Structure 1
Amino acid sequence: MATRRVIPQQLRGDPVDVKNAAAKNRRALGDIGNIDSLPGVEGGKINRPLTRNYRAQLLGNAPVAAAANKKQTNVDKAPVLDGAQVVPKKPEAVRAVQKKGRAVKRQPLKPNIEVIVISPDTNEIAKAKEDKRNDESTKKVTYSSVLNARSKAASKALDIDSVDKDNDLAAVEYVEDMYTFYKEVENESMPQSYMQTQPEINEKMRSILVDWLVDVNIKLDLSPETLYLTINIIDRFLSLKTVPKRELQLLGVSALLIASKYEEIWPAQVYDLVYVTDNSYNNKQILVMEKTILGSLEWYLTVPTQYVFLVRFIKAAVSDPETENMVHFLAELGMMHYDTLMFCPSMLAASAVYTARCFLNKTPAWTDTLKFHTGYSGYQLMDCAKLLAFIHSRVGESKLRAVFKKYSKPERCAVALVSPAKSLLS
């Protein structure tokens, strides 16, 4: 089917009552009178002429008041000029005595009091020193040991971001912090086990739906990010709501519509989705289901899917095209099976890389660089890797062939034809 790319129609909304909106707004300061009500405020500047004049008068009259109150003893009265008394110069002897008196007053008095110093207990001193040493050792564990551990781990790992140091879009300065955050929040968006709560849906029906969505993703030429987000939306919705069998495909196309709007520049059109369902549903049904999904998920769409971790871990594996296609093949095979929902997205992605390297006989199967960037050891990935290898071993017997056909083509290195590793099947 040739997919037409049409710019989506402009979103419609209720008209805004500009007149009422303007009436509800008011000026932040002028209308509540918090400037005009202040006394002596002109143009926003506060003026206090009375206070300043009064202070000036006090400063001007200070020497006059001091001279008027001074007692005259054995000194002739000074002449008065313009209402102010002129104080004659003091003799040198008088100034020397006053200066000496002021110097004596400045010296603090030393009371004749005997001070008894009580020496602390030797046990208390020893305890205080021990507490200080413990505090210092705690600081060393908190900072030095952590930094040393990180530096040792990083010294064994390759710098996989050095090739992107001049690429601003790679965000080399923040990429490690970003993936640390992704691993912290990935469990929040993981779907719960839901088959026991779905009376009309079973695991086989889910596998058929995912296989069909893989084929639709190829026909509509959508990105892999859209596919992984679509499956995440479906599983999370089924964890919350009961869906009848006749609406399972409707759930799939509506989730695909949401994911394409989130990930694609040109999202899938509703009439395209009606066509791929062979007119089983109309436009209105798809849009109503889209609204129901978004309401149930509370518009929580920014989630770290398995694909987010696949991109980083494939880069850490320094993979060639064959290994990269094998990783995506195993990841999409695992996505079709309900049993893989028990593992978090980062572990599924790391296990896909581990299994692909085992299938292609890469030695070592798990490097220090992969351990550093994934946060998993080979032993931790063994259970999930064996499950992916088992699913791969049964792909030839399955009637669901969309993923197998996709990765059997030469442009994808025909990785679907590679035999599984016997070490993971034992």
Structure 2
Amino acid sequence: MLPMRHTRPTLAKVSRAGKSITVENVQSVKEDSVQTKRSPSSPQGGAKKRSAFGDITNANKNPQLLQKKKDGQKAALKKTRNVAVNGVLKNNEINVKRAPRKVPILDVAVEVVKEEINANEEVRPQSKVEICSDKLLPPDVEDIDKDSLDDPFSTSEYAMDIFTYMRDREEKFVLSNYMESQRDISKEMRAILVDWMVEVQENFELNHETLYLAVKLVDHYLAATVIVREKLQLIGSTAVLIASKFEERCPPCLDDFLFICDDAYKREQLLAMEMDILQKLNFDINIPVPYRFLRRFGKCAHASMEILTLARYICELTLQEYDFVQESASKMAASCLLLALKMKDLGGWTATLQHYSGYQAMDLLPLVKRLNFLIMCQPNEKLKAVRSKYSHRVFFEVAKIPPLDVLKLEESFQS
């Protein structure tokens, strides 16, 4: 059984029995108005100001030219002081009257563009949505991004391209049956490790994307390297560390991960494992995860937070099951959402969901049946983290919702 402390260490300072670690005060840089956080082990202390590209001025390149420029500025200043104030004002009034009216550059550019367009063809006026979006959608498919065009924090204009790119990357990260080559670990050991990683995500209050990415990193590393069981927890904690650096704004420091492992590993071992994982994966860790697709598909279905939480619960249960590692992230997310809709009797797979997910309802039926069977199975006594997590009222107690009957599930797909 993997050791796990139930007390959550603070990310800024980790307290241990007989040993206290103090954190240096961070110096605030007034010029940049930025506060930099340092880990307890950082020897540098506060951030220091430094030019990223060195001296980019010409101060040291031609000192004679610079001196002439300064002398010229001084002469201009002396000459200006000798002019009477009234005379300057009078001359300015005369220059304003004589100067012709200047047309703003933007107006000129607009007029030129209009003349070129009118010379080629007559352009009909377009609405704002038509200008911002060039998508040609079927009449029964809703444009789910049109309501976010005015949101500066939204990527609605690029959302379709982003998820198309993620769908293409799924083909690069297809996992094989790597357990056949592992001699010292088993599926049950992997399930216990993932269960422990879920507790780490809760204790550190990390994003769910961090948990999903960490599990992906573990699977891809095990697919590339044969390990012994003594290193399994080291791999799991290092994967969470890497995923935190990739996903979190303020990731936990290295000492926090040593703490959660009950000091079973040293700092040098954790750093060496981090480098080994990154090298084995060629530093390409932008792996598509189901959680991102699930948020997108939930928006297509206008799913409530309870429905979306139920789908996330089903999806998080699959992290512990080795039999689901070969499924693509987008198909897993679509199947979890479809099963959640069926469990709440909220209809089936709409045309909008089919368009944005790329899957038809019948394509998802085999995976949906496997997911429903996973919920029906008696929970393992050693794997309690996910079910306990989603049994809380914060998550609408979705783990207590009964699964669907198999016959009723098949009938709903045929109707």
1:94 alignment partner in structure 2: none
Give the Cα–Cα distance (whole angstroms) in 2 for the partners of residues 154 and 337 of structure 1: 38
Give the Cα–Cα distance (whole angstroms) in 2 for the partners of residues 388 and 334 of structure 1: 8
Tell me, yes or no, if the aligned pair for 2:235 and 2:273 is still in contact at 8 Å. Answer: yes
Aligned with 1:313 (options 297, 304, 308): 297
Give the Cα–Cα distance (whole angstroms) in 2 for the partners of residues 156 and 286 of structure 1: 53
Residue 168 of structure 1 and its aligned partner are, at CA, apart by: 2.3
Residue 354 of structure 1 and its aligned partner are, at CA, apart by: 0.7
2:70 alignment partner in structure 1: none
2:373 alignment partner in structure 1: 390
**Does structure 1 residue 380 correspond to structure 2 residue 363?**
yes
Sort the Cα spacing of 1:8 and 1:338 in 2 relative to 1 into closer, same or farther, 3 A.
farther
Give the Cα–Cα distance (whole angstroms) in 2 for the partners of residues 155 and 3 of structure 1: 53
Residue 362 of structure 1 and its aligned partner are, at CA, apart by: 1.1
Aligned with 1:423 (options 398, 406, 415): 406
Percentage of pairs with the same residue = 32
Residue 423 of structure 1 and its aligned partner are, at CA, apart by: 3.5
1:361 alignment partner in structure 2: 345
Give the Cα–Cα distance (whole angstroms) in 1 for the partners of residues 218 and 244 of structure 2: 14
Tell me, yes or no, if the aligned pair for 1:226 and 1:260 is still in contact at 8 Å. Answer: yes
Residue 401 of structure 1 and its aligned partner are, at CA, apart by: 0.8
Residue type at the aligned position of 2:150: D
Aligned with 1:291 (options 270, 275, 281): 275
Give the Cα–Cα distance (whole angstroms) in 2 for the partners of residues 272 and 395 of structure 1: 34
Paired residue secondary structure (2:185): coil
Residue 8 of structure 1 and its aligned partner are, at CA, apart by: 4.1
Residue 159 of structure 1 and its aligned partner are, at CA, apart by: 2.1
Residue 388 of structure 1 and its aligned partner are, at CA, apart by: 1.0
Give the Cα–Cα distance (whole angstroms) in 2 for the partners of residues 396 and 293 of structure 1: 32
Residue type at the aligned position of 2:255: Y
Give the Cα–Cα distance (whole angstroms) in 2 for the partners of residues 4 and 397 of structure 1: 31
Give the Cα–Cα distance (whole angstroms) in 2 for the partners of residues 193 and 166 of structure 1: 46
- Which structure would you say has the larger Rg? 1
Q: What do the CA deviations read for 1:332-383 (whole angstroms, capped 9, x no partner)?
A: 00111011122111100101101111111112x2111111110101100011
Residue 3 of structure 1 and its aligned partner are, at CA, apart by: 3.1
Give the Cα–Cα distance (whole angstroms) in 2 for the partners of residues 296 and 305 of structure 1: 19
**Does structure 1 residue 5 correspond to structure 2 residue 11?**
yes
Give the Cα–Cα distance (whole angstroms) in 2 for the partners of residues 414 and 281 of structure 1: 36
Give the Cα–Cα distance (whole angstroms) in 2 for the partners of residues 360 and 2 of structure 1: 35
**Does structure 1 residue 222 correspond to structure 2 residue 206?**
yes
Sort the Cα spacing of 1:395 and 1:368 in 2 relative to 1 into closer, same or farther, 3 A.
farther
Aligned with 2:382 (options 376, 380, 399): 399
Q: What do the CA deviations read for 1:180-217 (whole angstroms, capped 9, x no partner)?
A: 12111212123322000100111111111111100110
Give the Cα–Cα distance (whole angstroms) in 2 for the partners of residues 259 and 397 of structure 1: 27
Residue 272 of structure 1 and its aligned partner are, at CA, apart by: 1.3
Aligned with 2:151 (options 167, 173, 176): 167
Q: Map 1:18-167 onto structure 2 (within 5 A).
A: 151=136, 154-167=138-151
1:336 alignment partner in structure 2: 320
Give the Cα–Cα distance (whole angstroms) in 2 for the partners of residues 397 and 267 of structure 1: 31
Q: What do the CA deviations read for 1:63-85 (whole angstroms, capped 9, x no partner)?
A: xxxxxxxxxxxxxxxxxxxxxxx
Segments of structure 1 that go 5 or more residues without pairing to the other structure are: 13-21, 23-149
2:180 alignment partner in structure 1: 196
Sort the Cα spacing of 1:278 and 1:359 in 2 relative to 1 into closer, same or farther, 3 A.
same
Tell me, yes or no, if the aligned pair for 2:391 and 2:397 is still in contact at 8 Å. Answer: yes
Give the Cα–Cα distance (whole angstroms) in 1 for the partners of residues 397 and 321 of structure 2: 22
2:261 alignment partner in structure 1: 277
Residue type at the aligned position of 1:294: L
Sort the Cα spacing of 1:385 and 1:419 in 2 relative to 1 into closer, same or farther, 3 A.
same
Paired residue secondary structure (2:362): coil
Tell me, yes or no, if the aligned pair for 2:192 and 2:382 is still in contact at 8 Å. Answer: no
Give the Cα–Cα distance (whole angstroms) in 2 for the partners of residues 395 and 416 of structure 1: 13
Residue 398 of structure 1 and its aligned partner are, at CA, apart by: 4.5
Paired residue secondary structure (1:342): coil
Q: What do the CA deviations read for 1:209-254 (whole angstroms, capped 9, x no partner)?
A: 1111001100011001110110110000001000111100100000
Give the Cα–Cα distance (whole angstroms) in 2 for the partners of residues 224 and 257 of structure 1: 14
Tell me, yes or no, if the aligned pair for 1:208 and 1:400 is still in contact at 8 Å. Answer: yes
Give the Cα–Cα distance (whole angstroms) in 1 for the partners of residues 306 and 141 of structure 2: 23
Aligned with 1:211 (options 187, 190, 195): 195
Tell me, yes or no, if the aligned pair for 1:395 and 1:404 is still in contact at 8 Å. Answer: no
Give the Cα–Cα distance (whole angstroms) in 2 for the partners of residues 167 and 352 of structure 1: 29
Aligned with 1:325 (options 309, 312, 321): 309
Tell me, yes or no, if the aligned pair for 1:192 and 1:236 is still in contact at 8 Å. Answer: no
2:87 alignment partner in structure 1: none
Give the Cα–Cα distance (whole angstroms) in 2 for the partners of residues 232 and 360 of structure 1: 30
Tell me, yes or no, if the aligned pair for 1:165 and 1:172 is still in contact at 8 Å. Answer: yes
Paired residue secondary structure (2:265): coil
Q: What do the CA deviations read for 1:111-165 (whole angstroms, capped 9, x no partner)?
A: xxxxxxxxxxxxxxxxxxxxxxxxxxxxxxxxxxxxxxx84x5321222223312
Residue 395 of structure 1 and its aligned partner are, at CA, apart by: 4.8
RMSD: 2.0
Give the Cα–Cα distance (whole angstroms) in 2 for the partners of residues 181 and 368 of structure 1: 22
Tell me, yes or no, if the aligned pair for 1:254 and 1:290 is still in contact at 8 Å. Answer: yes
Aligned residues: 288
Residue type at the aligned position of 1:348: M
